Each structure stands twice: as structure tokens, then as C-alpha cells.
């Protein structure tokens, strides 16, 4: 299982959080300067929250879903536990939080632009591709989940399947 997750992390979030930002910074002639203490504290707090949420969601995919986040090794069971009771895409939410953290910590509007592009790309990808696949794989269970749990903005109360 460790190798399955290592491949998934290297190919998916590592590219989004490290490789693409490095390319963006390289081509933007980025020159790092010390950020304000407030920006650094907010960035660190968001980074910790994002890492915690990412770890939690990955653990749920292994324990509950019996798979990974990779399209080639998807969960075998629908995961409706923990943060998935509040929002349908907490794993992507964790990546978005970490991109905002990077933008703050590095003081880069270009990284913030990458955050917006990544969010918009996922806003198109999820309803047209991933959700269609989940509907096929999990049927009515996923449709009921989708009707009750929002894609991006979390519910305040946890949804429980009846």
C-alpha cells in the first residue's frame, strides 16, 4: 500500500504543489523576499491545515475506500466519512489550501494565479468526468451523496446516509 500511495503522491499532488509552481516561478523571474510576519503565519497555518486534511483524506481512501486517489487505483468503496460528510472533494480542497499557503509564504501572485487555474480546471473536470465515473461505479449511493453534500463549500453539519 505504501508504494501505491507513493506513486500517487509523486504523480498528482507533488506536480501540482511543487513542479508546476517551480516552473511558474522560474518563468516569472521570481525573486524571493521575506514576507510580513502575518503572511508567514497565515501561510504556515494554512499549510498545516492543508497537510492535515490531505493526510486524513488519504487515510480514509485506504481504510474505508480500499484504494488511492489515483485514477488507475480508485477506491473500491464510496468514502462517506470524516470530511467527506461535509464536502465532496476535501482532497482537492487540501491541495487548494496548500496552494494558497505557498502563495502567501512565497509572496507570489503568480502562484495565486496557478491556484485559480487549478481550481477552475477542477471545477470543469469534476462534474463532467469524475462525478460521471462515480455515478457509474457507485450508482444510487453516489447520487444520494451528491444531492446532499456540496462539491466545494462544506456543509456545517455532517451528512449521514439514511
* 70 belongs to a structural domain: yes
Q: How far apart are CA 8 and CA 68, in angstroms?
A: 7
**Cβ(118)–Cβ(99) below 8 Å:** yes
* 18 belongs to a structural domain: no
* 46 belongs to a structural domain: yes
* 13 belongs to a structural domain: no
* 12 belongs to a structural domain: no
The dihedral over CA atoms of 86, 88, 91, 96, expressed in degrees to the nearest 10, equals: -90
* 161 belongs to a structural domain: no
Give the range of the structural domain holding residue 143, as residue numbers without chain letter. Answer: 35-148
Query: 6: pLDDT confidence band, cut at 50, 70 and 90?
Result: low
* 88-147 per-position pLDDT tens digit: 999 999 999 999 999 999 999 999 999 999 999 999 999 999 999 999 999 999 999 999
State the pLDDT at residue 114: 98
* 130 belongs to a structural domain: yes
pLDDT at 5 over 60: no
Q: How far apart are CA 135 and CA 143, in angstroms?
A: 6
The mean pLDDT of 67-86, rounded to a whole number, is: 87
Three-state DSSP state, 28:
coil
Query: 33: pLDDT confidence band, cut at 50, 70 and 90?
Result: confident
Q: How far apart are CA 149 and CA 72, in angstroms?
A: 25
* 155 belongs to a structural domain: no
The total of structural domains in the chain comes to 1
Q: How far apart are CA 99 and CA 18, in angstroms?
A: 10
State the pLDDT at residue 72: 73
Helices in 12-130 by DSSP H: which ranges? 13-14, 20-27, 37-63, 90-106, 109-125
Query: 1: pLDDT confidence band, cut at 50, 70 and 90?
Result: low
pTM over 0.75? The answer is yes
pLDDT greater at residue 127 or residue 35: 127
**Cβ(82)–Cβ(70) below 8 Å:** no
State the pLDDT at residue 3: 62
Amino acid at each position: 500500500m505504501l508504494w501505491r500511495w507513493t506513486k500517487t503522491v509523486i504523480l498528482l499532488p507533488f506536480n501540482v504543489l511543487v513542479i508546476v509552481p517551480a516552473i511558474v516561478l522560474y518563468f516569472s523571474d521570481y525573486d524571493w523576499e521575506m514576507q510580513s510576519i502575518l503572511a508567514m503565519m497565515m501561510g504556515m497555518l494554512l499549510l498545516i491545515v492543508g497537510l492535515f486534511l490531505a493526510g486524513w483524506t488519504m487515510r480514509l481512501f485506504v481504510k474505508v475506500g480500499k484504494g488511492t486517489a489515483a485514477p488507475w487505483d480508485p477506491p473500491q468503496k464510496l468514502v462517506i466519512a470524516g470530511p467527506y460528510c461535509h464536502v465532496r472533494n476535501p482532497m482537492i480542497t487540501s491541495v487548494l489550501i496548500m496552494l494558497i499557503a505557498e502563495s502567501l509564504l512565497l509572496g507570489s501572485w503568480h502562484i495565486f494565479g496557478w491556484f485559480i487555474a487549478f481550481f477552475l480546471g477542477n471545477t470543469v473536470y469534476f462534474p463532467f468526468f469524475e462525478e460521471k465515473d462515480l455515478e457509474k461505479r457507485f450508482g444510487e449511493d453516489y447520487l444520494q451523496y451528491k444531492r446532499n453534500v456540496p462539491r466545494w463549500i462544506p456543509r456545517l453539519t455532517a451528512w449521514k446516509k439514511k
